[in-house]
Amino acid sequence: MKILVINSGSSSLKFQVIDSVTEEVLVKGLCERIGIDGRFTYKTYHGISIKEPVTMENHKQAVNTILDTLVDPEKGVLADFGEIDVVGHRLVHGGEKFSGSVVITDEVIQAMTECNDLAPLHNPANLVGVAACRELMPDTLMVGVFDTAFNQTMEPKAYLYGLPYRYYEKYKIRRYGFHGISHKYVSQRAAEFMRQDPRRVKTIVCHLGNGASISAVKYGKVIDNSMGFTPLEGLVMGTRCGDVDPGALEFLATKENMDIHQIMTILNQESGVLGISKNLSSDFRELKDAEIKYNEKASLAREIFAYKVAKYIGSYAAAMNGVDNIVFTAGVGENDSDIREEICEYLEFLGIQIDEVQNRDQGEAIRISTGTSRVNVLVIKTNEELEIAREAAALAEQIKSIEK
């Protein structure tokens, strides 16, 4: 099967075409600055590469650009876009309604629209991409894969805040956790790589990118995720603050005479390692370069980041009453061997030993713990698009077999 994977944002739309049998990426690309000045990037497996300005006034024009290029006699990878068996859409928030992937119907769109309040920046943008694809490919199966779905196995003790219960009943204020598509892919790949039965292992996945989250996956099910009602909770991130005492925010609002929106902008965009490093950078590569030049704030930002990750790992080992695998993934987790080493130094009490040479290795999946380490420590490249393609293909297969 050929799967078109779509990740639609407010002014951008990422796409890939994946062959579900070989799992080969036939083409990947990006429509950027939709509704502004339009930029199109496109790269095929056989070396065709495009990077050019293209007018895309809306998401429908962006999807049209993608489809036209996919079937172009010179640049394309398909004879006809009817060759696309299914479109897999990345959808950010499924609330409590969606605990797995779904075939997108009018009812699903209605249910998703009802979740818009929970993710006002992301869900409407996702739905615009869905609407554009449905309009241009009315006969193609559309599947929605939610970033929250894998986390829906969390129990009330993990997902409820210490707030009056009525607010959960009335508004569904609770912890949802995010990056579920990545946590699912990486936890399963770790078990496969270690030749373990995923239903028998306890894994902690550290998805450390610009946005960062940690999950505890016990016997294939998420029991906790460090992000909460929104992706703001948990770790100190690139620009997000992570866990903060709300009392400090009231204090700050009063002192600086700020409203809740100004406070939220600070928490989402001006905090994290960017804020701690006094606006030096949210990028860990730049912080490392500055640290080498004895920039104290850069050093402090990285130190705080690593300390917080280690604390979450410790608490998740307790939550699962043990841990077999710890996996690092995403931009920082996959590439920053110094941060990995620093985090693991806190974890010697778990019997963790890191092989310094292997820790400098690169690869799709590598083990960086020694043979005698009591816990396997791995680095695995996340692949959310492949996970979406797998989910979409599995649903399409199911439908086919029912129709037979």
Q: Directed axis angle between helix 284-292 and helix 296-319, to 10°?
A: 130
Q: What is the size of the binding site for ligand ADP (CB under 6 A)?
A: 12
- Among 283, 341, 355, 397, the residue binding ligand ADP under the rule CB under 6 A is 283
Bridge partners (DSSP) of residue 55 are none
The residues annotated as belonging to the active site are 147
| Closest distance of CB 238 from ligand ADP, Å | 5
User: Interface with ligand ADP includes 335 (CB under 6 A)?
Assistant: yes
Cβ-based burial of 218 (10 A; exposed 0-12, middle 13-18, buried ≥19):
buried
Question: Among residues 336 and 391, whose Cβ is nearest to ligand ADP?
Answer: 336
- Burial string for 52-91 (b: 16+ CB within 10 Å, else e) reads eebebeebbbbbbbbbebbbeeeebbbeebeebbbbbbbb
Residue 285 makes contact with ligand ADP by CB under 6 A: yes
Does position 234 bind ligand ADP by CB under 6 A? Answer: no
* Interface mask toward ligand ADP for 183-212; x: CB under 6 A: --------------------------xxx-
Q: By CB under 6 A, name the one of 42, 98, 185, 284 that touches ligand ADP.
A: 284
The three-state secondary structure class of 246 is helix
E-state strands within 33-81:
39-44, 49-53
**Residue type at 366 in one-letter notation:** I
Determine the 3-state secondary structure of 146 from DSSP. strand
| Least distance from ligand ADP to the Cβ atom of residue 344, Å | 16
To 5 degrees, how large is the angle CA 154–CA 155–CA 158?
Answer: 80
Name the residue nearer to ligand ADP (CB basis): 61 or 182.
182
Residue 342 found at the interface with ligand ADP (CB under 6 A): no
**Chain residue whose CB lies nearest ligand ADP:** 331
CB of 340 to ligand ADP, least distance (A): 10
380 binds ligand ADP (CB under 6 A): no
Binding site for ligand ADP (CB under 6 A): 209-211, 238, 283-285, 330-332, 335-336
